[in-house]
Amino acid sequence: MDRALEMSVFAAVVEAGSFIGAVEGLRMSKAAVSRHVDALEQRLGVRLLQRTTRRLSLTEEGRIFYQRAKEVLAALDDAESEITSRTQEPSGLIRINVPLTFGIMHLAPLWSAFMQVYPQVDLDITLNDRVVDLVDEGYDLAVRIGDMPSSALISRKLASTRMMLCASPAYLARHGAPAHPQELAKHRVLAYTNWSGRDEWHFDGPDGKASVGTRARVYTNNGDTCRAIALAHGGIMLQPSFMLQEDLRSGALVELMPEYRASELGVYAVYPTRKQLPLKVRRLVDYLVEAFRDVSWGEGG
């Protein structure tokens, strides 16, 4: 018998909770369902299901096999979808949520080229730094920067960016350049409120980890505002390297204490599910992965 079919029937029985319950979804008789499960157990040489007149339950071997079977069936679906998609043209609307500054600086220049390659795809792009609920708010894809927590969402890494401590030469001429993180407590600090560290900034230095409690002169939920104030000689900021490269190259900003390194963050494309991922979204994710393949922002960025 077809091994994939046996797996599919077995998984359907488990998910339906009974042989009768699996009949409708499989569109086969109860006898045929039983025959496939019996053949699977005989081939494996183990009992996968405990059957009584009142209930059906998985054995330990059945539980393990069910998990493996689901992975195999999902992989088959992915393979078929990938091959089929090669002969299809992506089309329709993609709703995308991206961080404000990153979206303007590094994603906005990419959209036109993507639409030229896929002329049947339209984009609805929202820019903000709020972490949206992709499913509840109806987004197909988001770009997120940070550490990806365990969740039901699927993510593909696009790039890395490093948090960098910077100030203008004029600010440093007036107030001096800190030589150790503890000295930041005496400086004018520009704080990004969405940064998880908030007032406690952490670094890895020559002598191990170092932390300092800062007292910000400015709090803002927008990194561009921090940058603008720093460029106007208003204080020291901790911002990601993806937004600082040109300022550092021109000398408008100076990196401080490079031997004390702050966090490195990932830039991810995030979407709700891998199974039956729409072709238009699959193509956009692949496009973004390729676009950022060789990118780097500043030293170690």
Per-residue pLDDT tens over the stretch 138-194: 899 999 998 776 566 788 999 999 999 999 999 999 999 999 999 999 999 999 887
User: Hey, what CATH class is 90-301 in?
Assistant: alpha beta
Per-residue model confidence as pLDDT tens digits over 260-274? 998 889 999 999 876
The three-class DSSP label of residue 71 is helix
The two domains 3-85 and 90-301 share their CATH topology (first three levels equal): no
What is the pLDDT at residue 19? 86
In the predicted structure, residue 4 carries a pLDDT above the cut 90: no
CATH number listed for the domain at residues 3-85: 1.10.10.10
* Domain residue ranges of the chain, discontinuous segments joined by +: 3-85, 90-301
Q: Could you please report the per-residue DSSP string of 100-119?
A: HHHIIIIIHHHHHHHHHH-T
Give tens-digit pLDDT for 18-71. 888 888 778 888 888 889 999 999 999 999 998 877 778 899 998 899 888 888
Q: Which residue has the tokens 């803002």?
A: 220
CB-based contact 137:265 (threshold 8 Å): no
Q: What is the pLDDT of residue 232?
A: 97
Contact 30, 20 (CB under 8 A): yes
- The mean predicted confidence, pLDDT, of the chain is 88
- pTM check: above 0.85: no
* pLDDT given at position 176: 94
Contact 177, 256 (CB under 8 A): yes
Share of the chain above pLDDT 70, in %: 92
